[in-house]
Amino acid sequence: MDSRTISRRETLGTLGATGMLALAGCVGEDDDGDDGSTDTNGTTDDDAFDGLRIGVLGALTGDNGPEFGLMGITGFLSGLAYKADDDPLTHPALEYTDNGLTAASTIEPPEAIHGEVMEYTVNDVDMELHFRDSADDPDTADEQAVDLVGNENVDVLFGLSNSDSLLRVITNVIPVDDTPLFVGQATTSDATADAQRCDRRVFRATETSAMSARAGSAYIVDNPDIERVALYGADYSFGRSVIEHYRTALEDAGIEIVTADEDIDEIVSQGFADWEEKLQTEVVDADADAIVYGFTAQTGVPFFRDYASLVPGLAEPLQVIGDLPPRISTNELGESFEVLIEQQLGEGDIDPVILETILNTFGFGPLTARYMWNQYDNPINDAFVEMHTEAYNVVPDLFTSSAFTSASAIVQALEESGEVSSDAILEETYGMTVEATPKGEGEYVFQEANNQATSPITVTDLTGNIHGEEGTEAYWPPIIRAGTEDELAEGGDWMRVEKEETALQADEVTCDLDAEF
């Protein structure tokens, strides 16, 4: 490590967590009266380790844990393994079993992976990976990030699956020192668009809500049958960001927003479940052509179920447009469709043609797909899918591609600089075209205006796979899955929005990153 990095570590070790929060203006006692101070000597010995320490913040508990946390962790480990031409690290808490659960699904930390340190070597660079459960909670994420930087002396942070957690860490932790943060799954656009949030030290390969909205809006504008749209988002930074960016793009294109009335709540509480009446009065009775949603699983599952129940009474189905859900939501969605289909056709195998016809009557999709394992045909993705499935007994999920890319970018930065330090990663990743990514070689590019990586997004039709098939799809039963490019090209409704068109451009953000940082 260079002298600047050692100096930073010594300073943070002296400050401890309380000192860091004081600098950030956020000192306060815990509920039990503890002031939150920690051992100022830290828990690691810099002189005994000259490699790279990575703090991994993965939500293993909370509303979206462990699904989102595991996506980030397993994708990141696969990215390191690809660069090392080796097998990824495994752990019982990361491996899915035949019933679709993992140790982290049922065992609370620290019995799972929380608090553990794993060692790995990539191209002669020794690494320590310090794992923490961020619990999908801003307070916990803040505390764990402070501990990793101030006491474990990590050189780089990766993770954060919750948008509010990301904004908290950017505000409280990142400004205090020079530790780079590679964002895991948090997708609110504010972190890389708003001058109050974006930071020279924060890099994000994760496809943002703005990118998905630009891709989804491009489909809506290109579809002459969609003239009136209803917008709904959950009440947190991600949901609000989805509504904001869809509204801007659609209104600019002359699409009518039927939920724009001030008496209609486009922003609903997280976990809102009373959808049947809302959809009937605000969408169906308003003669909307499509619904755009900005939810994760907590709100999306009741929404999907209520809408599916409403469809049989409609003269024509609405189009439901939003992000393709991750495994946790698609399983719930698949189960809901199974019940409805069995009510109509009875139990047993269903002819694929009949199944697809039934699915079309529900109007789901096309949906924006940040990443699906079967939509990118290139050697990197082939290797990624194979190693991920062998290591964790499940195909890569929604956010695993961007997590893979973050790990790939860190290793590429070390290779290009010839130095193992936080400074090297900061300097080399700025403006980087990441060579090895699941979407193809060079398909993620960190923009100099805001450190947000551009990448292509597919707006994809859905094909039926409710009961599962042999091969990779069998790890996701029951599921409504996105088809491959070949399947979609045979008559499906889809489009790919290339990386140059997805991310917000320099004149659309208020960030002011100093290239000479």
Question: What is the domain count for the chain?
Answer: 2
Residue 4 has pLDDT above 70, yes or no: no
Specify the pLDDT at position 481.
55
Specify the pLDDT at position 236.
85
* Least confident interval from 293-302, 440-449, 491-500: 491-500
Residue 222: count other Cβ atoms within 10 Å of its Cβ.
11
Specify the pLDDT at position 430.
96
Residue 262 has pLDDT above 90, yes or no: no
Is there a domain that residue 516 lies in? Answer: no
**Residues 200, 94 share a domain:** yes
**Residues 399, 325 share a domain:** no
Residue 398 has pLDDT above 70, yes or no: yes
- Residue 427 to residue 425: CA distance in whole angstroms: 6
Specify the pLDDT at position 24.
34
Residue 94 has pLDDT above 50, yes or no: yes
Specify the pLDDT at position 26.
34
Specify the pLDDT at position 40.
29
**Residues 420, 304 share a domain:** no
Residue 515 has pLDDT above 70, yes or no: no
The torsion angles phi and psi of 228, rounded to 5 degrees, stand at -130, 125
Which pLDDT band holds residue 47 (cuts at 50, 70, 90)? Answer: low
**Residues 146, 103 share a domain:** yes
Is there a domain that residue 509 lies in? Answer: no
Is there a domain that residue 339 lies in? Answer: yes
pLDDT in tens, 223-242: 889 999 999 999 988 889 88
**Residues 214, 168 share a domain:** no
Specify the pLDDT at position 494.
75
Residue 115 has pLDDT above 70, yes or no: yes
Specify the pLDDT at position 374.
81
**Residues 408, 488 share a domain:** no
**Residues 124, 72 share a domain:** yes
Is there a domain that residue 43 lies in? Answer: no
- Residue 159 to residue 204: CA distance in whole angstroms: 10
**Residues 360, 415 share a domain:** no
Residue 20 has pLDDT above 60, yes or no: no
- Pull the structure tokens for residue 382: 């082939």
Specify the pLDDT at position 101.
76
Does pTM surpass 0.95?
no
Nearest to 441 by CA among 468, 408, 483: 408
Specify the pLDDT at position 463.
61
Is there a domain that residue 31 lies in? Answer: no
**Residues 200, 221 share a domain:** no
**Residues 438, 346 share a domain:** no
Please give, one letter per residue, the 3-state secondary structure of 156-219: EEEECCCHHHHHHHHHHCHHHCCCCEEECCCCCHHHHCCCCCCCCCEEECCCCHHHHHHHHHHH
Residues contacting residue 319 through CB under 8 Å, at least 6 positions apart: 226, 289, 290, 291, 363, 365
Which pLDDT band holds residue 138 (cuts at 50, 70, 90)? Answer: very high
Most confidently predicted of 78-87, 371-380, 493-502: 78-87
Residue 110 has pLDDT above 80, yes or no: no
Which pLDDT band holds residue 109 (cuts at 50, 70, 90)? Answer: low
- pLDDT mean over 62-78: 90
Residues contacting residue 160 through CB under 8 Å, at least 6 positions apart: 57, 134, 141, 166, 169, 181, 183, 184, 185, 186
Specify the pLDDT at position 15.
38
**Residues 201, 220 share a domain:** no
- pLDDT mean over 488-496: 66
Most confidently predicted of 50-64, 359-373, 454-468: 50-64
Residue 165 has pLDDT above 60, yes or no: yes
> Which tops the pLDDT comparison, 25 or 161?
161
Cis upstream peptide for 110 (omega within 30°)? yes
- Residue 298: its H or E element: helix 297-310
* Least confident interval from 148-152, 278-282, 320-324, 412-416: 320-324
pLDDT in tens, 190-223: 889 999 889 999 999 999 988 999 999 999 998 8
Which pLDDT band holds residue 64 (cuts at 50, 70, 90)? Answer: confident
Specify the pLDDT at position 425.
97
CATH number where 335 lies: 3.40.50.2300
Residues spanned by the domain of 333: 210-369+457-497
Specify the pLDDT at position 220.
92
Residues contacting residue 64 through CB under 8 Å, at least 6 positions apart: 136, 161, 162, 296, 297, 298, 328
**Residues 311, 254 share a domain:** yes
> Which tops the pLDDT comparison, 425 or 513?
425
- Residue 272 to residue 234: CA distance in whole angstroms: 8
Specify the pLDDT at position 347.
63
Looking only at the bridges linking them, the beta strands covering 457-460 and 495-497 are: antiparallel
Residue 161: count other Cβ atoms within 10 Å of its Cβ.
33
Please say whether the beta carbons of 327 and 397 come within 8 A.
yes
* CA distances, 354 to each of 337, 349, 360 (Å): 13, 11, 10
Residue 41 has pLDDT above 50, yes or no: no
Specify the pLDDT at position 332.
66
* CA distances, 293 to each of 247, 375, 410 (Å): 12, 23, 34
Specify the pLDDT at position 19.
35
The torsion angles phi and psi of 100, rounded to 5 degrees, stand at 85, 10
pLDDT in tens, 276-298: 999 999 999 999 999 999 987 77
Which pLDDT band holds residue 480 (cuts at 50, 70, 90)? Answer: low
- Residue 98 to residue 219: CA distance in whole angstroms: 37
Give the type of residue at 90: T
Is there a domain that residue 234 lies in? Answer: yes
Q: Is 154 exposed, middle or buried (0-12, 13-18, 19+ CB in 10 A)?
A: buried
Specify the pLDDT at position 108.
63
Helix/strand/coil for 223:
coil
Is there a domain that residue 38 lies in? Answer: no
* Least confident interval from 20-24, 80-84, 510-514: 20-24
Is there a domain that residue 435 lies in? Answer: yes
Mean pLDDT of the chain: 82
Q: Is 240 left (phi over 0), alpha (psi -120 to 50) or beta?
A: alpha
